[in-house]
Structure 1
Amino acid sequence: MRIAIDAMGGDNAPSALVAGALKAAQDWTDTHIVLVGDTAVIEPLLAGGKPANLEIRHAAEKIEADEEPVKAIRRKKDSSMVVAGRLVREGEADGMISAGNTGALMTAGLLVVGRIEGIERPALAPMMPTRDDLGVLALDLGANMDAKPEHLLQYALMGSIYREKVHGMKNPRVGLLNVGTEARKGNELTKAAFDLIEQSSLNFVGNVEARDVLDRNCDILICDGFVGNILLKTMEGTAGFLMKTLKEEFSRSLLTKIAAAIMMPGLKGLRRKMDYKEHGAAPLLGVNGLIMKCHGSSDAMAVRNAVRQARIALQGNLIPSITSEISGK
């Protein structure tokens, strides 16, 4: 399989992207990595040697984090993100990974790679941590700020296929994020979406509240991108606050430092559970090719784990499965 990596996108580009690509190429020699970006910038970062299963595809431009997505994709035809998208569209790569501008990546998915026929809006679907380590797949968490009930139904269908094909989960439970668990709770969007999902063949468990998600009261959490992105950022902020507070408290005295030393294995496990780097990347579901979105501040390990996620999705025939289910063919 061939996986393209947008080497110029993200806060730590290109160094972290190149280092992560090198690690992935070494770990999975059956996977061909294509680093897309400015050759003159990337090559010095490969001074230690370039594996046989890694190549550079030159792209003279890059899309900045603050650029307007549609204008950036249309004007910068030779940007690393657009070139990587073209590789997927033209079959030169089986999937792509980017830590760049989320809006631009969404636009590239639509304008460069294209939507799966029958899908109206793609959705960003990251994993959220849970106490039992199985996680909850949540979508949409930021690809589309507005949604219709029909979009939420499609999110539920794509999320179910992802959990089955990538995570091997049989008959995963679908929950609709809401302000209460009663069937008629919420706004007009959630009420209408509730009825649509309930009438489908999916394993729908009804409305779920945000406070229960980390206990995995569902396997797939459905919401519109505006609400979902707020949920995601709130959880990231809470995780950061918790870890900083614990560090401060355990540093107050000799006694607390001793306690911290005793609890260190458990604390490290907690940190790993809440660390986005462990998951690597979130798929953009609904586009006609595998696109994985890394966190903007991803380091080399996060990029390496993104390649791992992409490999699993490709081995599970994720995109063909979604296409077949939606088209009915």
Structure 2
Amino acid sequence: MKIAVDLMGGDKAPEVIIEGCSIFLNGGTDSNLHLVGSKIAVEKAKSLSVLKDCSFDICEDFISMKESMHSFSKNRDETSINRAMKLHKSGVVDAVFSAGNSGAIIYTAMDILGKLDSSLSPALLTLVPKTDLKYLVLLDIGGSGNRLVEKDYLLYLAKSGSDFYKYFFDSDSPKVGLLNIGEERYKGTHEHTLAFNELESSSLNFSGNIEGDKIFDTDIDVLVTDGFTGNIILKLMESFYDIMTKKFDDIGVSKLIRNSNYYPKDLKYENIGGALLLGVDGNVTIGHGKSTPRAIASGLGFAERYYKKTSVEKN
């Protein structure tokens, strides 16, 4: 497969993105990269032997991390992320990866690739580690923004998450949970209770409501929530590694903990490195703006594995 990479997206682009691409290709992948960025960024990438066989597109305009939707939705049709999406739309590449402005990426994906369902907002899906060392599919983590979530959207997330888990982990009947303030069926907003009732009678393997204290210590495989809450959960989880390792260092037990089955390194966001954008007619993976080179490489690997898994399923 070939992945278009936005060299200009991220807090420390293009250097971190270029290094991440190098790590990815040095990892033995059979995928190819199409790198999109400014002339300076492209020249930096070409200077590395591991990237010399990549395809390149020079595009001087790019969307910064701090720009608002108003600035990038008007007369900005030749930005690096725009060019990457056009390459995907035309079939030159099979997927797009960017660690840039998530709002801009989502807007551009909808504009160029189109939505699969005009009535539903896109969603972002990622994987988070549990205490049993298995991964939990968490969605939405920000695709729907600050919008109030209705029953139909929660149902859409549940089915999408279940389908993803089946493809990605070769599982027949993943367990789906609905994040809520209590286990009882009547807890939560009116939309949550409606969603609970429909999920219970659906063909999905619905396990009921899941409270916040069970997110990382549960037997469910897919956790459904709104994008606002999901994004907070993700950012909180990302802080665990730094907090725990600092505390372990302070009390002098780092070596002991490293020998345990569940060490904080399993919580590092670098291990996955990206979130899949659901609801658009294409394959788009969004990396964290603060990504390290290792996180970029992991994000590209995540995009690659998802594409290959779904391609096999479709065939």
Conservation of the 8 A alpha-carbon contact between 2:7 and 2:41: no
Tell me, yes or no, if structure 1 residue 113 matches structure 2 residue 106. Answer: no
Match of residue 126 from structure 2: 126
| Equivalent position amino acid for 2:274 in 1 | A
Structure 1 position 305, deviation (Å): 1.3
Distance, in Å, in 2 between the alignment partners of 1:87 and 1:295 is 22
Q: Following the alignment from structure 1 to structure 2, what is the Cα–Cα distance between the partners of residues 298 and 53?
A: 24
Secondary structure, counterpart of 2:26 in structure 1 = helix
SS at match of 1:288: coil
Aligned-partner residue type, residue 198 of structure 2: L
Task: Tell me which residue corresponds to 1:94.
Answer: 94
Contact in 2 for aligned 1:73/1:82 (Cα 8 Å): no
Matched, 1:301 2:303: no
Distance 2:105 2:50 in 1: 27
* Map 1:75-94 → 2, pairs under 5 A: 75-94=75-94
2:216 match: 214
Aligned partners of 1:246, 1:141: CA distance in 2, in Å? 29
- Cα distance in 1 for residues equivalent to 2:155 and 2:204: 10
Q: Equivalent residue for 2:205?
A: 203
Aligned to 1:154: 156
**CA distance in 2 between partners of 1:180 and 1:33 (Å):** 46
**Structure 2 partner of 1:281:** 274
Matching residue of 1:191: 193
In structure 2, how many angstroms separate the alpha carbons of the residues matched to 1:233 and 1:6? 23
What is the deviation of 1:319? Answer: 11
Name the stretch that deviates more: 240-249 or 106-115. 240-249
CA distance in structure 2 between the aligned counterparts of 1:238 and 1:48, rounded to whole angstroms: 35
Q: 1:85 to 1:105 in 2, by over 3 A?
A: same
> 2-side partners of 1:179 and 1:127: how far apart?
22
The one of 304, 307, 310 equivalent to 1:314 is 307
The question of 1:34 aligning with 2:27 is answered no
The AA in structure 1 aligned to 2:264 is: R
The alignment covers a number of residue pairs equal to: 313
Q: Are residues 118 and 196 of structure 1, via their aligned partners in 2, closer, same or farther at CA, if it must alter by over 3 Å?
A: farther
* Residue 196 (structure 1) shift: 2.5
User: 1:292 maps to what in 2?
Assistant: 285
Contact kept, 8 Å, 1:25 with 1:53, in 2: the verdict is: no
What is aligned with 2:15?
Answer: 15
- 8 Å contact kept, 2:241–2:265: no
- Secondary structure of the residue aligned to 1:136 is strand
The structure whose residues are more often helix, as a share, is: 1
Amino acid at match of 2:12: N
Aligned to 2:250: 248
- Report percent identity of matched pairs: 29
Residue 208 of structure 1 contacts residue 217 of structure 1 at CA under 8 Å; is this kept in 2?
Answer: no
Superposed CA deviations along residues 111-152 of structure 1, whole A, max 9, x for unmatched, are 122111466121111111101221111111111122211011
> 1:271: Cα distance to partner?
2.8
* 3-state secondary structure, aligned to 2:215: helix
Q: Partner amino acid for 1:221?
A: L
Structure 2, unaligned stretches of length 5 or more?
none
Equivalent AA in structure 2 for residue 202 of structure 1: L
Distance 1:132 1:84, change over 3 A: same
Distance 1:318-1:211 versus aligned 2 partners, 3 A rule: farther
Q: Is the 8 A contact 1:70 1:107 kept in 2?
A: no
- Aligned residue type for 1:307: L
Cα distance between partner residues in 2 of 1:28 and 1:284: 26
Report the CA distance between 1:318 and its aligned residue: 6.2
* Equivalent-residue separation in structure 2 for 1:139 and 1:22 (angstroms): 29
Q: Is the 8 A contact 1:70 1:104 kept in 2?
A: no
Offset of 1:280 from its aligned partner? 1.9
2:164 aligned partner, one-letter code: Y
Q: Is 113-122 or 141-150 further displaced after alignment?
A: 113-122
Q: Distance in 2 between matches of 1:88 and 1:265?
A: 44
> What CA distance in whole angstroms lies between the structure 1 residues aligned with 2:2 and 2:119?
25
Native 8 Å contact 1:18 1:42 kept in 2: no
Partner of 1:234: 236
Matches of 1:248 and 1:317, distance apart in 2: 45
Aligned CA RMSD, in angstroms, stands at: 2.2
Can you list the C-alpha shifts for 1:178-220, whole angstroms capped at 9, x where unaligned?
A: 0001111111221122122223211111111111111133111
